[in-house]
Amino acid sequence: MNNDAVSGRLAVLLGWFAMLYPYFIYPMDQTYYYANTKAYYLIGFAWLLWTVQWFRTEPVRCTLSNVKPAEWLLLSWLLLAGFSTLQGIRLSLIGYQTEHQGVAVLLAYVVLYWAASRWISRSMQQKLVRWIVLSSTVPALYGIAQHFGMKLLPQDALPEAHLPQYHFELRSWSLFDNPDYFGAYLVMMFILALTCYLTAHKRLDVLLYAAVIGILCTALLYSSTRSAWVGAAAGVITLVAVFAQSRDRRRQWKRWSLFAVTCCLLLVVLAQASDTDFVSRAATIPADIKKLIDQPDDGSAGASRWYIWRTTVPLVKDYFWLGSGPNTFGQLFHPGIAADYFAYIRHPVYDANNDYVQIALTMGIPALLAYLLFLVVVLYTGVRAARHAEREPYNMLSGLLAAAIGYCVQALFNISVVSVAPYFWIIMGFIAAHDIRSTQQGQ
């Protein structure tokens, strides 16, 4: 079997995984966390992907000389997470409930990134992005159906039955455990769908992706996830800024105008057809910012996220170097942590509701710095590559960058969860591939 054939099979495997991953659940389980089973599917697929790569006729050799800075940072982050696991207050290799940041899961993320950056051709990248975008419409449609009371899976009724305080009311969560996580998924899919719409050449494709955008936008609104709305806005702004430099921006501005008008009309129609006041919900974002500035001692801002953050950050100094261990946030943040705990917290909190604070406390400041530097290096790599890219790679790379930035912005208000994060790591790998391959070809 030649290398091209194996590379093609790797791309197909990755594509099928990305399209089917939302459905990798066990709906009859008596726990209401779909992520409990997703973690094991992810780890199993990572092993499968690595095994297929291992049996290539001429395996790609990665010597120390061609390991890129982002990869060194990523390996450093993984190594620090491993040390954190060994000395943590509780040994956790995978995770539980919605918190799956064990070293086994992180290793699976690294395999996805490595595969997307080194084992998939650029031509296949665009095909995989389109497959992933089109497949996202089904989870989005199910989320829309949930908004209107349709819950087909037995597991969907468990959160409200066992924990009434987790009542999501009209918010949609689809197959992602929580509306916040569903929103994080939709941020990436929405930006990538918008990219496909802007770059489509055939009229039928333009109409197809316009319909996909409408579905994803509707699901995003029905999730009522403010962090996702902020992330999507950051992604769209990034995309506008980048496409403003595009060579065919005149044609794209027409599509941008149509996109803006359609989204406004969609918002009006959905507001009339739904009991949810999206404008009032969005207005709470600047209201929370004002409350944070005027009343910093009031921890209720951001659905009590401000209280969680200001209570968690002082704990970091006690676990500065290696953290408390992955998946141990719940052991540190408990009712005894502060006298005013129950004034702001009315249900168990398993995570920091901020990916960066979560890493700082559970894995340590060095791990956080390694992760942040990794993000910066990969995103800078993408920006630098876009400056020299031809039109088609430039357009797709712009969308990947915008999707990654949108995800990173919403991660200020949520942690990275196993049901969503694999898509982010694939996107980051696709961005990094533009630097890795160009360097390899010059060697």
Q: What is the pLDDT tens value at each position of the chain, 443 positions in all?
A: 445 555 678 889 999 999 999 998 876 666 667 777 889 999 999 999 988 887 765 555 666 668 889 999 999 999 999 999 999 999 999 988 778 899 999 999 999 999 999 888 888 899 999 999 999 999 999 999 988 888 787 767 655 555 444 556 778 889 898 899 999 999 999 999 999 999 898 999 999 999 999 999 999 999 999 999 999 999 999 999 888 777 666 677 888 988 999 898 998 888 887 777 788 889 999 999 999 999 988 999 999 999 999 999 999 999 999 999 999 999 999 888 888 999 999 878 889 999 999 999 999 999 999 999 999 999 999 999 988 877 777 888 999 999 999 999 999 999 999 999 999 999 999 999 987 544 444 33
CB atoms under 10 Å from CB of 331, counted, come to: 13
Dist. CA 51–CA 433, nearest whole Å: 21
Tokens for 73, please give them: 């940072």
pLDDT of 20 reads 95
- Are the CB atoms for 324 and 331 separated by under 8 Å? yes
The reported pLDDT for the residue numbered 440 is 45
What integer pLDDT is reported at residue 394 of this predicted model? 82
**DSSP secondary structure of 229-297:** HHHHHHHHHHHHHHHTT-TTHHHHHHHHHHHHHHHHHHHHHHHHHSS--HHHHHHHHHHHHHHHHH-TT
User: Distance (Å, rounded) from C-alpha 158 to C-alpha 166?
Assistant: 10
Domain ranges of the chain: 3-283+350-442
Closest CA to 159 of 141, 134, 177: 177
**Cα–Cα distance, 367 to 360 (Å, whole number):** 7
Question: Which SS3 state, helix, strand or coil, does residue 442 take?
Answer: helix
Closest C-alpha to 95, from 317, 362, 312 = 362
User: Can you give the pLDDT at residue 337?
Assistant: 87
Angle at CA of residue 10, ends 64 and 419, nearest 5°: 95
Give the three-state DSSP class for 96.
Answer: strand
Which phi and psi (to 5°) does residue 99 adopt? -100, 100
